[in-house]
Amino acid sequence: MKRPRGLVCECLGPTVCPDGAANGTCFTQPGGYCFVAVEEVLDENYRVVIDRTAGCLPPDESGFMQCKSSQVPHQHPKVIECCMDSDLCNRRLQPQLAEPSLDVTETPGVRGSGTNTPTLLVAAALCIALVAFLAAFLLLFRRRRRAGKRPPSPPAPHTAEVSSGSGSGLPLLVQRTVAKQIQMVESIGKGRYGEVWLARWRGERVAVKVFFTTEEASWFRETEIYQTVLMRHENILGFIAADIKGTGSWTQMLLITDYHENGSLHDYLQTVVLDTHGLMTMAYSIVSGLAHLHMDIFGTKGKPAIAHRDIKSKNILVKRNGQCAIADFGLAVRYVAERNEVDIAPNTRVGTRRYMAPEVLSENLDVSNFEAFKMADMYSLGLVLWEMCRRCATGDKAQFVEAYALPYHEFVPSDPSFEDMHAVVVAKGIRPPIPARWISAEPLSTLVNVMSECWHANPPVRLTALRVKKTLAKYNTETTIKLV
């Protein structure tokens, strides 16, 4: 008979407690179960330890089957006990893992026979050796599988209190414990890759991107790019750690980065009007980050050239000082100079259609030529500059400004298809319109020339990020921003 109300259950472990709390209580739905589970897991030093969790299960069939799952073999030894007779009933549950049995089964007629004792001893020794071999093989397999899911990283130093030396986040051994220390606060955004949370780590606010399980390739690639040697730059989103967290039933892939309260440039421009100084501060910071990304640094531990492949206002964050930081490297590609080849990660994502260069829309981009990827980034940068110029006020009293809009908003639907974008950008050669006020006002007129060259139909004609950075450098005298 189901209870008319839910149960109060004890919960242990941040993966099962509400809001990621370390311990406390949870509430089931009517007819739900309280459970306690113990499982053998590997810690950071690959030692087998017993992990105990407790919490709530739903009343449906899946919850019932979860309670009965101890009756079937598990690859990782696990025992679950459930109860539903009273509140906090799982406090008294003490599930125990079964002791491994090494007894040798005796055949009829052999038991008690003194003449076959040597045979039994030999058989027992062989069985023990076989079990030990299988246990060692299983442990090695589990280690390798765990290692295969870990993000790539430069070699971890001996101390866990300093950075990795590459400027690209914490040492690997520290990263592996960060997920256990994160306290989720609230969801601040969702996208096709997953969800972004505001969280706290050691008293500081951080951003945690939680990837969908179908986006493992994006998580792995972004982690790989962030941990590139010499990647850190003030105009590239600061990377802290990456980790995989979960139980036998679910997995979360986490990417922990700096948190910027102003959010994305796309959201920021919808509510904030810029003056010319603030516009140029933002523009210079964005192209500075892109120039660092595109640049290769030679040396013993040099930095490869990287192309972003998804430059857009939603992937650029606004910092408190008015500068910007480029984020989201799930589609990035690297140029491996030693082998003269482009390292393209296997990824089902293809970028954002609205910001795709003409050669990408027409499927003429030469994927073996790394310069082609960089020029596609520059086309997208031109569209971002256009978005920013619309929100920059001009005139004697700064009375002239356009409402925020996405590129090509008047030509294509809100979610354009490849065919929509190809018809406008490639077939008709249309580009976003330039208001007359931009041409007559500095420094907007300079940005008009820059964006026009960036979105040229012929990729080799487009400006490089370094050229744009040098053009805008004369306007970058301060780093603070004024809002109108």
Active-site residue numbers? 310
- On whether the CB atoms of residues 223 and 169 are closer than 8 A, the answer is no
Q: Phi, psi (5° rounding) for residue 275?
A: -95, 175
The Cα 39–Cα 70 span in angstroms is 11
Is 209 labeled as ligand-binding?
yes
User: Percent helix, strand, coil in the chain (nearest 5)?
Assistant: 35, 20, 45
Directed axis angle between helix 444-454 and helix 370-390, to 10°? 150
Nearest C-alpha neighbor of 57 from the set 16, 101, 110, 94: 16
Q: State how far the alpha carbon of 435 is from the alpha carbons of 242, 394, 439, 442, 484, in Å.
A: 44, 12, 7, 13, 20
User: In the chain, what is the greatest distance between 2 CA atoms, to the nearest angstrom?
Assistant: 111
For residue 193, the 8-state DSSP code is S
The Cα 22–Cα 318 span in angstroms is 33
- On whether the CB atoms of residues 37 and 54 are closer than 8 A, the answer is yes
Count Cα atoms within 13 angstroms, Cβ side, for 118.
1
- On whether the CB atoms of residues 304 and 265 are closer than 8 A, the answer is no
The Cα 314–Cα 354 span in angstroms is 12
The Cα 319–Cα 331 span in angstroms is 23
| Helix, strand or coil, per DSSP, at residue 160 | coil
Q: Phi, psi (5° rounding) for residue 53?
A: -130, 155
Angle at 297 between CA 293 and CA 301, to 5 degrees: 115
Nearest C-alpha neighbor of 254 from the set 180, 341, 335: 180
| Helix, strand or coil, per DSSP, at residue 473 | helix
β-bridge pairing 324-326 and 333-336: unpaired
Report the C-alpha dihedral over residues 452, 454, 457, 461, rounded to 10 degrees: 110
Annotated binding site: 209
Annotated binding site for ATP: 209
